[in-house]
Structure 1
Amino acid sequence: MFAEAFEAPEDYADAPPDEPWAARWLANPDHIALLAERDGIPVGALTAYVLPKFEQARSEIYIYDLAVLEAARRRGVASALIDHLRVIARDIGAWTIFVQADIDPEDEPARALYRKLAVEQITALHFDIAP
């Protein structure tokens, strides 16, 4: 799903985790995986992480990936996935859900969706630090 929607097989399909890794990932209650189907065919997916905070007894949820296949876009799939995540967030008592969005021009539709659902915060830069 993600490999096709993001046109990034090298990141999502070239080296998939083995079954024990996938089972452990799915069993972790702080990991969320949602799949949207239309007529039994996957058309969208969302992965997120529950992040327990240290400064207060609360958690937040980070949307790591949200993808919708091109043929299913602009039909409410991403909004439905986020709405379902909001239910999960309320059920676990999370105080917020957050997502990062790329600033590339081709990602404007995603940013428009997030602006519709949330308050835009332009207060940080993202840095990747090599381990």
Structure 2
Amino acid sequence: MSSTPYALRRLGPDDIPLLRKLNALFADVFDDPGSYASEPPSDAYLEDLLAKEHVVVVVALADDEVVGGLVAYELEKFEKARREFYIYDLAVSAEHRRRHVATALIEHLREIAMRRGGWVVYVQADYGDDPAIALYEKLGTREEVLHFDIAVEPPSRGRR
């Protein structure tokens, strides 16, 4: 495990206040309050979410403040008996960057994945996010892929 002055903690059902702090951090770092702060789920929803073994939320704490964190999902595969872990969100507050917080969070997830029989941890980065790309290239192998968002509801018949 990477040495860091931060405490790393996987959140469980009793950690809703820390999850809410992480969500506020995501809203700030990603500059996206619409996605992360406009419709906060109930405590019961979050408690249920954090109780799921396949939902992995890890925070980096400096004293009692959330200074970074990640949310990952364990995906059970069908083609082989193995699991993959997808990092959906990863952020570190501006004042705590360049202190190996993100690396420590990913290393902690790797340990969890190893214990759970994981085969790989993967993450995507946006073009132009050079610090994230540099970190991920240091830790893994780069693949060029296309990402598509497919709406659940089909477009109306009149549009093309």
Superposition TM-score, scaled by structure 1 size: 0.95
Q: Percent identity?
A: 50
Match for residue 102 of structure 1 among 112, 117, 126: 126
Q: How many residues are matched?
A: 128
SS in 2 for 1:120: coil
Match for residue 149 of structure 2 among 114, 128, 131: 128
Residue in 1 aligned with 2:13? none
2-structure distance, mates of 1:73, 1:6: 14
How far off is 1:38 after superposition? 1.2
Cα distance per residue 1:13-70 (max 9 Å; x no partner):
1111111111111111100001101122110010000000011111100000000011
Say which structure, 1 or 2, has more relative contact order (CA 8 Å, 6+ apart).
2
Ranges in structure 1 where 5+ consecutive residues have no aligned partner: none
Ranges in structure 2 where 5+ consecutive residues have no aligned partner: 1-24, 153-160
SS in 2 for 1:48: strand
Superposition TM-score, scaled by structure 2 size: 0.78
1:112-123 alignment runs, 5 A limit: 112-122=134-144
Give the 4+ runs in structure 1 shifted more than 3 A. Answer: none
- CA-atom RMSD, angstroms? 0.8
Structure of larger gyration radius: 2
Cα distance per residue 1:69-124 (max 9 Å; x no partner):
11111111000000100100110010000001111x2x1100100000001011x2
SS in 1 for 2:46: helix
